[in-house]
Amino acid sequence: MQLNPSEISDLIKKKIENFDANLEAHTEGTVVSVTDGIVRVHGLSEAMQGEMLEFPGGSYGMALNLERDSVGVVMLGAYQHITEGDTVKCTGRILEVPVGEALLGRVVDALGNPIDGKGSIDTDLKSPIEKIAPGVIARQSVDQPVQIGLKAIDSMIPVGRGQRELIIGDRQTGKTAIAIDAIINQKGTGIKCIYVAIGQKRSSIANVVRKLEEHGAMDHTIIVVASASESAALQFIAPYTGCSMGEYFRDNGQDALIIYDDLTKQAWAYRQISLLLRRPPGREAYPGDVFYIHSRLLERAARINAEEVEKLTNGKVKGKTGSLTALPIIETQGGDVSAFVPTNVISITDGQIFLETGLFNSGIRPAVNAGLSVSRVGGAAQTKIIKKLGGGTRLDLAQYRELAAFAQFASDLDESTRKQIERGQRVTELMKQNQYAPMSVAEMSVSLYAANTGFLDNLEVKAVRDFESALLAFMKSEEPALMAKVNETGDFSDEIKNGIHSAIERFIKTSSW
């Protein structure tokens, strides 16, 4: 929207005309000390926990510690101009951020201000960042899948709409890559995505944004950024901000997917704030409520039933359930999952995708450890065809792992053991997948079917991936109707089974891989 100067002055004139100055009553306090973004304020006897406080120069703070004579405030943004004796005003509002469809395709900071240079965000809707999670009555069990688009995950560790599935692993194991693939794969599914970057380098965030734009995935995505250079307070609230934006979609009968990348850094930021506020340190110097900051955040990811959606939208949306699926990311140090924060988040979530450096370095990407990864509720939500075909994969890999260690010592193996190992090697090879190349249900089904029925057993291990890509290209050009049908229904009927089987046989006859 372009305005010329005379229009602007007209607008201002109108605003001044309509300005209705009312008697302003508020509570005031004075700044006693400013230390590392923590401000101690004397007075403010009526401040609320989590209330926004107005400082001179247009900065805001959030009241965190309410004490007898003073209030401990964390500054949101710049605090360099705050001096002792400054007046602080109560605003009577809990911290709020803009929400709504208008945020899709935008990059915002932890307070919901746009930082992508695309102008202001056109929404009047606001939502407090801290909300209580939906109650027991409002919820519905998870029974629809979120397709991540990675064979290794969708077949063995399925994620359902409304589930909380943790992605955990050391640095450089491809945690963010899984999250980005998940976002790209939601294109056209109607699932809105929110990517919350906490304490990351700005360069890597810019990379993520660019990749999403390249793959046309920004249109259904909101990116919330609290980079490493921003204050600890902003890094602490960023996940709640993203969650409120996701809850808007959930409460309006839509499905949303939120990625917190990563919660370890949020816990660090919170530890910093807590120590500066002189709260007593506990294990690993984290404050006593570090479990609660994550549990209350992840509890807000849920599936709510149609009645609740109807109630929340005042009857505007009927007969639709809403969901917010969360993929929190935790970075471990040296594979130590028994550190404080990882154990906490593992116990809160409905399962975890465990990534390992060893696997990653040996070329198995995504580096998912199939033995330690679980999904506690996703099985109920899995597409029928993937569930049928993926069950075998999990078993093959489990048996392979058991035998592989043992087989290193033995030179002569009996026929069945050797077969088991060879199958395992091929399935492991098949589970490898390139980044930014998510697969549809039909593509996955064909690959898994080929592995399950032994079509891969006669191939060289090295040839498996070439075989797969050639097979999928063949299916795409020769059997588009069958593929579309699988994608649409997700059933594993005899008709589909025979269709896939005969198509693979025809493909093998061409021996074109």
Partner 1 sequence: MTELATLARPYAEAAFKRAKQTETANAWSESLLFLSVVAQDRDLIAIISNPKISKDRKIEVVMDICQDQIQDEAKNLLKLLIENGKLQLLPKITVLYEQYKAEDEGYVNVDLYSAYPLNKAEQSNYVAKLEKKLNKKVNATVLVDKSLIGGILAKAGDKVIDGSISGQLHQLAKRL
The burial class, CB within 10 Å (0-12 / 13-18 / 19+), for 386 is buried
**Selected range binding partner 1 among 23-31, 329-337, 341-349, 421-429, rule: CB under 8 A:** 23-31
One residue of 69, 214, 336, 457 binding partner 1 per CB under 8 A: 69
User: CB under 8 A: which stretch of 42-50, 354-362, 456-464, 493-501 binds partner 1?
Assistant: 42-50
Q: Of these, 15, 119, 405, 408, which contacts partner 1 (CB under 8 A)?
A: 15
Task: Determine contact, residues 30/53, Cβ cutoff 8 Å.
Answer: no
Beta strands in 48-205 (DSSP E): 51-54, 60-66, 70-76, 87-94, 96-98, 107-109, 126-128, 145-146, 159-160, 166-169, 192-198
Span of 67-75, 144-152, 308-316, 318-326 interacting with partner 1 by CB under 8 A = 67-75
Contact with partner 1 (CB under 8 A) among 34, 37, 43, 226: 43
Give 72 or 490: the residue with its C-beta nearer to partner 1: 72
Q: How far is the CB of 87 from partner 1 (least distance, A)?
A: 9
Question: Binding residue for partner 1 (CB under 8 A) from 70, 254, 383, 445?
Answer: 70
Check binding of 29 to partner 1 (CB under 8 A).
yes
Does residue 45 interact with partner 1 by CB under 8 A?
A: yes
Distance CA 300, CA 312 (A): 15
Residue 476 as a binder of partner 1 (CB under 8 A): the answer is no
CB of 46 to partner 1, least distance (A): 7
Cis omega (within 30 of 0) for bond into 366: yes
Cβ at position 11, least distance to partner 1 in Å: 9
Alpha-carbon distance 406 to 359, whole Å? 18
Least Cα distance to 311 among 129, 135, 124 occurs for 135
Whether the Cβ atoms of residue 345 and residue 263 lie closer than 8 Å to each other: yes
Does the active-site annotation cover 376? yes
- At a CB cut-off of 8 Å and minimum separation 6, what does 498 contact? none
The stretch among 18-26, 294-302, 376-384, 415-423 that binds partner 1 (CB under 8 A) is 18-26
Number of residues interacting with partner 1: please give it, by CB under 8 A.
25
Q: How far apart are CA 483 and CA 506, in angstroms?
A: 16
Single out the residue of 285, 384, 289, 275 nearest to residue 339, CA to CA: 285
Binding flag, residue 77, partner 1 (CB under 8 A): no
Residue 12 engages partner 1 in binding (rule: CB under 8 A): yes
- Residue 69 or 214: the one with the smaller Cβ distance to partner 1 is 69
Position among 19, 319, 415, 481 found at the interface with partner 1 (CB under 8 A):
19
76 close to 51: Cβ distance less than 8 angstroms: no
Cβ–Cβ < 8 Å for 154, 378: no
The residue within the footprint of partner 1, chosen from 16, 137, 405, 481 (CB under 8 A), is 16
* CA distance linking residue 183 with residue 10, whole number of Å: 44
60: closest CA among 198, 270, 234? 234
Per-residue binder mask for partner 1 (CB under 8 A), 78-97, x = binder = -----------x--------
Residue whose CB is less far from partner 1, 42 or 215: 42
- In the set 93, 376, 401, 465, the catalytic residue is 376
Structure tokens at 210: 């660019």
Residues that bind partner 1 (CB under 8 A): 12, 15-16, 19, 21, 23-30, 32, 40, 42-46, 67-70, 89
Q: Which residues are catalytic?
A: 376
